Amino acid sequence: MSFSVNKLAPELVAAAEPTPSGRLPLSLMDRTAGVRLIINLILVFEQGVQLAKAIRAALPRALVPYYPVAGRIVEPLPGEVEVDCTGDGVWFVEASLNCSLKDVNNLEHPLLLPRKDLIPYAPPDVIEGDLIFLMQVTEFTCGGFAVGIRFNHAVFDGLGVGQFLKAVAEIARGHARPLIEPVWCREAIPSPPKLSQRHSPATAAVNFESSVFDVSSDHISAVKNQFWRETGQKCSTFDVVTAMTWQCRTRAISLDPHTDVYLGFAANTRHLLRQLPQEGFYGNCVYHTGSKATAGIIAGSSLVEVIELIRDAKERMPAKFLDWLMGNAEDDPCKVPLGYGILVVLDWSRLGFSEVNYGWGEPIHVAPLSGDHSYVSSCIYLQPSKPKQGVRLMTQCVQKEHLHAFTEEMMKFVHN
């Protein structure tokens, strides 16, 4: 059965009051973490009353304290990316679909609608790479809604965009201002004196297969208990799920046992930067770190041993990050090794997306809406659809010939 979308013309939504103008330089972390990458995601709500109207009314008021979001990205000199606070506004699209959420499985994977139907696009004459934020609200016949978001990673990290989405929702629920006041404060992040702006060498995109796995909280707790019994130490949900995924993928892709495999992840460093305020900062504040071992070690070790490798990488992160800030780092953390041997994991489960509430409850489903082609294999951690407990893994990390083996390996853990 085919469904059709009716999209109204994109509308520019500006701040409700006059806001400061001028240019705001981005921090070094903004310029390296993401590099003007547009991220797409969707939040699915079971019900709402005139949700598009409520969000459309809240956006202009949220853009008063978040006035840089209504500006445009500029690059006066190569690598010197800034936000020009033009006050132009953000693009907002209202849409409807002739089906219920149930008809399309609540927009869970595999996606039963074209991605382009659910996310906003600016008019053809607009350069989307210069935009900071776009939003689309799509109504379904059942009274449910999908909120499609596109944001520029150069201005927000995951926690930052989660903070902005919650701010809009708070105003839609009747608050006069966001509960957390936003702060720009990019100048508080030092620029390491020895670090130049570097880019990874160009490489071809790979067609990674998409899969979704739900890991129950019971299984995660069982592994945590095993780790405690064997080491006398505690480990986190992130440690357990990351070790499991890295090991399953390494076994599935069957590299030579002596080949190095890499695990990469982004660690939040707000707590390490005392010059930043306790809350409200919405720029990039992550440090890319990880672990390296041979394929034979990761595939052949116990899960507890792989967890210990990940915990060691996390424990070394603060010192490495502070070395990097001082310009004493030996390597560039943003220069990710390329190739099939690397897995990058991103934890979206605690970024605040699942707490966005416009007045009719939190989303039943949150997910990225990325394409099938990527430059690096990845796994994103999400909260599972309610009422499930645990972690949902959205993976794009193996090519077609390894999908069956990867799924079998994962199922041994998921259903253990």
Model confidence over 289-318: pLDDT tens digits? 999 999 999 999 999 999 999 999 999 999
Among the listed ranges 101-110, 163-172, 202-211, 226-235, which one has the minimum average pLDDT value?
202-211
Give the per-residue pLDDT at 28: 87
Q: Does residue 198 sit within a domain?
A: no
Helix (H) or strand (E) holding 378: strand 377-382
Residue identified by tokens 């070094």 is 28
Give the per-residue pLDDT at 336: 58
Mean pLDDT for 35-53 is: 91
pLDDT band at 415 (very low <50, low <70, confident <90, very high): low
Quick one: residue 302, left, alpha or beta (phi over 0 = left, psi -120 to 50 = alpha)? Answer: beta
250 and 288 part of one domain = yes
Lookup: tokens for 239: 């440690």
119 and 184 part of one domain = yes
Give Cα separations from 218 to 102, 194, 214, 385 (angstroms).
Answer: 28, 47, 12, 16
Q: Does residue 201 sit within a domain?
A: no
pLDDT band at 244 (very low <50, low <70, confident <90, very high): very high
Average pLDDT, the chain: 91
Pair 33, 153: CB distance under 8 Å:
yes
What is the domain count for the chain?
2
C-alpha neighbours within 13 Å on the C-beta side of residue 321: 22
104 and 46 part of one domain = yes
Q: Which CATH number goes with the domain that contains 381?
A: 3.30.559.10
243 and 157 part of one domain = no
73 and 173 part of one domain = yes
49 and 101 part of one domain = yes
- pLDDT more than 90, % of the chain: 78
CA 187 to chain centre: 24
Domain end, chosen from 188, 217, 238, is at 188
pLDDT, tens only, 86-125:
999 999 999 999 999 999 999 998 899 999 999 999 999 9
Q: Exposed, middle or buried, 294 (CB in 10 Å: 0-12/13-18/19+)? A: middle
> Which amino acid appears at position 27 of this protein?
S
Mean pLDDT for 58-62 is: 98
Q: Does residue 405 sit within a domain?
A: yes
pLDDT, tens only, 150-168:
999 999 999 999 999 999 9
216 and 113 part of one domain = no
165 and 64 part of one domain = yes
Among the listed ranges 28-32, 54-58, 91-95, 340-344, which one has the minimum average pLDDT value?
28-32
Residue 18 pLDDT > 60: yes
Q: Does residue 197 sit within a domain?
A: no
> Which amino acid appears at position 320 of this protein?
K
Residue identified by tokens 């999209």 is 7
Residue 219 pLDDT > 50: yes
28 and 175 part of one domain = yes
Mean pLDDT for 55-71 is: 98
- pLDDT more than 70, % of the chain: 93
Residue 200 pLDDT > 60: no
Q: Does residue 329 sit within a domain?
A: yes
266 and 371 part of one domain = yes
> Which amino acid appears at position 136 of this protein?
Q
Domain end, chosen from 188, 216, 237, is at 188
pLDDT, tens only, 320-334:
998 888 877 666 655
Mean pLDDT for 341-350 is: 94
Q: Does residue 356 sit within a domain?
A: yes
pLDDT band at 199 (very low <50, low <70, confident <90, very high): very low
Helix (H) or strand (E) holding 167: helix 158-172
Continuous H helices in 254-332: 295-300, 303-325
Q: Does residue 194 sit within a domain?
A: no
Q: What phi and psi, each to the nearest 5 degrees, are found at residue 202?
A: -60, 140
Q: Does residue 199 sit within a domain?
A: no
Q: What is the domain range of residue 127?
A: 5-188
Lookup: tokens for 107: 């927009």
Residue 192 pLDDT > 80: no
56 and 100 part of one domain = yes
Q: What span, in angstroms and rounded, lies between the C-alpha atoms of 158 and 284?
A: 8
Q: What span, in angstroms and rounded, lies between the C-alpha atoms of 23 and 119?
A: 28
Residues forming beta bridges with residue 292, ordered by sequence position: 262
pLDDT band at 196 (very low <50, low <70, confident <90, very high): very low
254 and 402 part of one domain = yes
pLDDT band at 198 (very low <50, low <70, confident <90, very high): very low
